[in-house]
Amino acid sequence: MPLVPMRILLDHAAENDYGVGAFNVNNMEQIQAIMMAATKTNSPVIVQASRGARSYSNDNYLRHLMLAASELNPQIPMAMHQDHGNSPATCFSAIQQGFTSVMMDGSLEADGKSPATYEYNVEVTKAVVDVAHTLGVTVEGELGCLGGIEDGHGAGLSGDEALAHLTDPEQAADFVEATGCDALAVAIGTSHGAYKFTKKPTGDVLKMDVIEKIHAKLPNCHLVMHGSSSVPKHLMDIINEFGGDMGESYGVPVEQIQRGIKHGVRKINVDTDNRLAITGAIRRVFHETPGKFDPRDYLKPARIAMAEVVEERMVAFGQAGWADKIKAVSLVDMAARYGG
Ligand code: G3H
Ligand code: 13P
Ligand code: ZN
């Protein structure tokens, strides 16, 4: 099956009340891990690349790896998504590279750090929608800002400042109407990376009620949860057991994500959990068999460890079992649906 527009996957998920994990990739092993889990569980997949991933791996490598994944797994509907596009130019270059979906994250300015004005966000998101839809490409927007981040994309907000940047349900309805975006990423107290919460999050820091309010206002909009790694203790423990040094931390419990899925969440972004699984597996090989030096000796277990996490999430989000029930739609047909 050729790569499909992400909208197809989200529409199907909405019709059948499940969520789809969107897993970040930077290299071949991560893409293979996702496809291993998808074929095992018969799941549709969203594979996403950040700007950092695109510059790390080079667009040409990424494009060919994604095409290889879809060629080798024709039964799996797969969308290739730009994660956190910081400007229309980034989104347009992703579309040129064959991405079937882009995120225009206008919640932050082009530096990927400073919170932007609402007007700026509407303007850049609409500019991307206007072009992307004529080509059948899906657009995800973001309203509100995620919490802090150690590095990479994010405003570094915490405490009251972070609370002030949660998504406002009224404004969300206005934003979707004004931009025509297909999916909306919402800020509900999560953040990127391993250090999200200092204890298991309760409703005062992880605002699932905000999702419920947004869904009540926008029942037909596909909602997206970023920063949705669960930061499992057993993965942190493996890293620490084999020479790592990671502090105590808590992520987004899977049951809270499942609650979100009952209220319109259709795309769930997971990167950190896979990074933890890969790092733990590699550390274990280095520690237990220090004489090994063939990269395959540690990349193979790393790939398996990531595939296990992805498989668990695919089952928990409810996307398992649906791949062969989704009909492929081409970008050209999708453009026609948008009226292009
Ligand atoms: O946006 C956050 C994702 O985990 C991607 O991270 O920008 O370091 O590739 P990155
Ligand atoms: P995590 O860091 O929680 O995995 O979030 C990833 C993400 O939101 C990518 O956009
Ligand atoms: Zn994100």
Ligand 2 atom closest to the Cα of residue 24 is 9
* DSSP string over 229-256: ----HHHHHHHHHTT------B---HHH
pLDDT at residue 327 is higher than 90: yes
| In contact, 273 and 309? CB cutoff 8 Å | yes
Exposure string over 95-124, b if 16+ CB within 10 A, otherwise e? bebbbbbbbbbbbbbbebeebbeeeebbeb
Q: Whose CA is nearest to atom 5 of ligand 2?
A: 227
Q: Whose CA is nearest to atom 9 of ligand 2?
A: 269
Q: Would you state the pLDDT for residue 150?
A: 41
* Span 207-227, pLDDT tens digits: 999 999 999 999 999 999 999
- Distance in Å from the first CA to the final CA of the chain: 23
Torsion over CA of 274, 275, 277 and 283, rounded to 10 degrees? 160
* Span 5-32, pLDDT tens digits: 999 999 999 999 999 999 999 999 999 9
Of 51, 108, 229, the one to substitute when testing ligand 2's pocket (max ligand atoms within 8 A of C-beta) is 229
For residue 80, what are its two tokens?
Answer: 């290739």
pLDDT at residue 157 is higher than 90: no
pLDDT at residue 251 is higher than 90: yes
Ligand 2 atom closest to the Cα of residue 229 is 3
Contacts of 61 (CB under 8 A, 6+ apart): none
For residue 224, what are its two tokens?
Answer: 């997206």
Ligand 3 centroid, distance to 271 Cα (angstroms): 9
Q: Which residues line ligand 2 (CB under 6 A)?
A: 24, 83-84, 192-193, 226-229, 269-272
Q: Whose CA is nearest to atom 3 of ligand 2?
A: 227
Helix then strand count (H, E) for the chain reads 14, 8
Sign of CA dihedral 71, 49, 308, 201: negative
Of 25, 55, 82, 84, the one to substitute when testing ligand 1's pocket (max ligand atoms within 8 A of C-beta) is 84
| In contact, 186 and 269? CB cutoff 8 Å | no
Ligand 2 atom closest to the Cα of residue 193 is 2
Single-letter code of the amino acid located at 93: S
Ligand 2 centroid, distance to 39 Cα (angstroms): 23
| In contact, 271 and 23? CB cutoff 8 Å | yes
Instruction: Give dist(CA 24, CA 1) in Å, integer.
Output: 21
Ligand 2 centroid, distance to 227 Cα (angstroms): 4
Helix (H) or strand (E) holding 337: helix 331-337
* Span 60-106, pLDDT tens digits: 999 999 999 999 999 999 999 999 999 999 999 999 999 999 999 99
Q: Would you state the pLDDT for residue 147?
A: 77
Instruction: Give dist(CA 297, CA 295) in Å, integer.
Output: 5
Instruction: Give dist(CA 162, CA 116) in Å, integer.
Output: 14
For residue 92, what are its two tokens?
Answer: 């347009």
Portion of the chain with pLDDT greater than 90, in percent: 92
Protein residues with C-beta less than 5 angstroms from the ion ligand 3: 226, 269
Mean pLDDT score of the chain, rounded to an integer? Answer: 95
Q: Whose CA is nearest to atom 1 of ligand 2?
A: 227
Alpha helices in 165-250 (DSSP H): 169-179, 208-217, 233-241
Residues involved in catalysis: 83
| In contact, 189 and 207? CB cutoff 8 Å | yes
pLDDT at residue 268 is higher than 60: yes
Q: Would you state the pLDDT for residue 151?
A: 44
| In contact, 103 and 8? CB cutoff 8 Å | no
Mean per-residue pLDDT, 186-206: 95
Per the model's pLDDT, the better-predicted residue between 269 and 164 turns out to be 269
Helix (H) or strand (E) holding 90: helix 88-96
Ligand 1 atom closest to the Cα of residue 84 is 1
Ligand 2 centroid, distance to 158 Cα (angstroms): 17
Ligand 3 centroid, distance to 83 Cα (angstroms): 7
